[in-house]
A and B are shown apart, each in its own frame.
Chain A
Amino acid sequence: MTEPLLEITDLRVAFHARHGKVRAVDGVSLTVAPGECLGIVGESGSGKSVTFAAVMGLIRPPGRIEAGRIRFAGRDLVGLDAASYRQLRGRDIAMTLQDAQTSLNPALTVGTQIIEVLAAHGEGNARARAVEMMTMVGIPAAERRLGDYPHQFSGGMRQRMMVAIALSCRPKLLIADEPTTALDVTIQAQVLELIASIRAKLGMSVVLITHDLGVVADYCDRVAVMYAGQIVEAGRTADIIGSPRHPYTEGLLASVPDLHNLDRPIRPIEGQVPDLIDLPPGCRFLPRCPKARPDCAKPVPMRAVGEGRNVRCVLT
């Protein structure tokens, strides 16, 4: 097996709030191989963004990495000094944020923003490269549009601009946080295909954070399902979508309508996501699980079940 590019081991991140400690990420372990696309799915608040903010060195007080290890290309990232992290971000790891509307600076032209990133990483002919990147992400007349401000772009163009900026330094790993959640399906398909084609061209690894299982099915090699700060099931996409083992994954798959199979009735998961403060020690899905048993109230470890597959449930 090849050495993973990214390896997260037992990561714990908490935010100290007035009314207690929010355990946003509570014992997450995962790996991303070179060239691989890993999907991260889960409902909002399940800890997807915080996990990768930790990888990017972007957890700020009141948040804190309480435990765990993050190794990237053979280096330990937890505790890395700020200067080294700045170098790493953009050059080796890039992340597109969930909200492109707010992550582009409204007061600067898009040209200035992409050229800044390129120049900061010592790219000689930053302007020409900026035009090249913008053309690659499908922004027509890129040269002319360098002088435009973000509000002059449509939502889809802003999102593609984010991808252009993220990819401009040819990172080894792209973390795309809900790159298409706010977009129409037509634009969503454009952005995802763009990421997939660049991944194929540059051989980069991609982490695709989404709540859309259809997106995962189309673009990801492997997937990790998160619930309330933990991974509950991980493995090859086809295995997990074809035969989910964790009751939450089952519930998630059963609750979304499928255009290609409209006769399948949808079945909601009853109840709601738990509050991450003062969680009981047992399985976090217990209050909503139709298969719960008494021993689910004790801590439930992640177990390996077959090739590259892990499930956190007493039934497996």
Chain B
Amino acid sequence: MTALLRVENLVKHYAPGQGLLSRLLGQKPRMVQALNGVSLEIRAGETLGLIGESGCGKSTFGRAILRLHEPTSGSVRFGGTDVLALDPAALKAMRRRMQIIFQNPYASLNPRKTVAQILAQPLRLHGLASGAELQERVRAMLAHVGLRPSHAERYPHQFSGGQRQRIGIARALILNPEFVVCDEPVSALDVSIQAQIIELLARLKRELGLTYLFISHDIAVIGYVSDRVAVMYLGEIVETGPARAVLHAPQHPYTKALMSAVPGGGAEDRVRLLGDLPSPMDPPPGCRFHTRCGFATDLCRSTVPPQRALQGERMVACHHFPETPP
């Protein structure tokens, strides 16, 4: 299958606000190593689910590939184009094809603009439509996401959380993108509303032929929407593969711990994680997971594990698992 998006060795370091004391002492600021060489491929027409604990770098990845946050190094190719080499004008044109939906629909909508204005803005910005055609596209998009024509003249605060997320989706899709990053699109919503939005995203994907990167900390949701999944830990990918295979038969010790913590499977025989997530400013050497892994050896503490390809299009980055790689 062809890769729509190919990411290689993507690195993103953030410079944290430096404390006064360390500045006086002339210390170099310690960087937050949010992404540490991520390679992933997203195939045309698929949904790739990205899971991992809070702060592991999921949103950073979603933003870095769209250059909403400029990556530190690495390469991002979208349909053959080198995204990181684009000049501002070319990047703007590329953004039509790559869009993002955020977790908090309220914070991401301008409270002083009506829904019609919010949806018209990207079309105007890109000079794609005006006048009657613009009105028609806005109306059609509202219908597409399950809002009524009368909603067009209302302001964001006049909507429920689920409806606001529909507006956020409409805004991302009005430019007819091919690829959409969905960053926790249902996490802020009530359970009964989550299912409405999951269904909507699935229907739009079918109707518009979209490709999704779907970020969520809810593993059941990821299992439900994804064709393949990638598991991230402290800015690195530790396991990838077909969604069912990875979620039902995880191989990496971290993925195993994550799966066994999902509620609903009984509280017995959990694979427990030791301690807390280390700081991304000071990640452990060797395998980044070794401080919390029950199987860590000296090798794990000193040497970065290789990414091993397994049968069935799977990858696991671990020295010791699976014990007998096929």
Partner-B contacts on A (CB < 8 A) = 43-44, 140, 154-157, 184-190, 192-193, 196, 211-215, 217-219, 251-252, 255-260, 262, 266-270, 272-273
Contacts and interface: CB of A to CB of B under 8 A. Distances in A.
A256 B218 CA distance: 11
Given A184-B53, A185-B262, A262-B244, A255 B273 contact: no
A141 to B, nearest CB: 11
A161 to B, nearest CB: 13
B190 A44 contact: yes
Nearest to B263: A214
A218 B264 contact: yes
Nearest to A253: B191
B191 A256 contact: yes
Contacts of A155: 54
Given A43-B191, A268-B192, A269-B195, A185 B276 contact: no
A211 B187 CA distance: 12
18 contacts: A43-B191, A44-B190, A185-B258, A185-B262, A186-B261, A187-B53, A189-B267, A189-B270, A190-B273, A192-B267, A193-B267, A211-B191, A256-B220, A259-B264, A260-B265, A262-B223, A262-B247, A268-B195
Interface of B: 53-54, 160, 162, 190-196, 198-199, 217, 219-221, 223-224, 244, 247, 257-267, 270, 272-273, 275-277
A201 B267 CA distance: 17
Given A140-B275, A186-B261, A255 B270 contact: no
Contacts of B266: 218
A257 to B, nearest CB: 4
A157 B194 contact: no
B54 A184 contact: yes
Given A217-B263, A259-B262, 8 more contacts: A154-B277, A184-B217, A185-B217, A186-B261, A212-B263, A255-B192, A256-B220, A268-B198
A251 B193 CA distance: 11
A126 B308 CA distance: 53
A255 B191 contact: yes
A42 B162 CA distance: 17
Contacts of B247: 259, 262
Contacts of B273: 186, 190
Contacts of A186: 53, 257-258, 261, 273
A43 B195 CA distance: 13
A273 B190 contact: yes
B244 A43 contact: no
Contacts of A154: 276-277
A259 B162 contact: no
A257 B54 CA distance: 21
B190 A259 contact: no
Contacts of A192: 263, 267
B220 A259 contact: yes
Contacts of A214: 220, 262-265
A259 B54 contact: no
Ordered nearest first, which 4 A-B pairs have the shortest CB separation? A214-B264, A214-B263, A268-B195, A257-B224
A219 B267 contact: yes
A266 B224 contact: yes
A248 to B, nearest CB: 9
A198 to B, nearest CB: 14
A255 B263 CA distance: 16
Contacts of B221: 257
Contacts of A255: 191-192, 194-195
Nearest to A248: B192
A219 B263 CA distance: 9
A23 to B, nearest CB: 19
Nearest to A269: B192
B220 A218 contact: no
Nearest to A184: B53
B199 A268 contact: yes
A213 B195 CA distance: 15
Given A186-B258, A255-B195, A257-B221, A218 B190 contact: no
B270 A260 contact: no
A256 B265 CA distance: 14
B160 A272 contact: yes
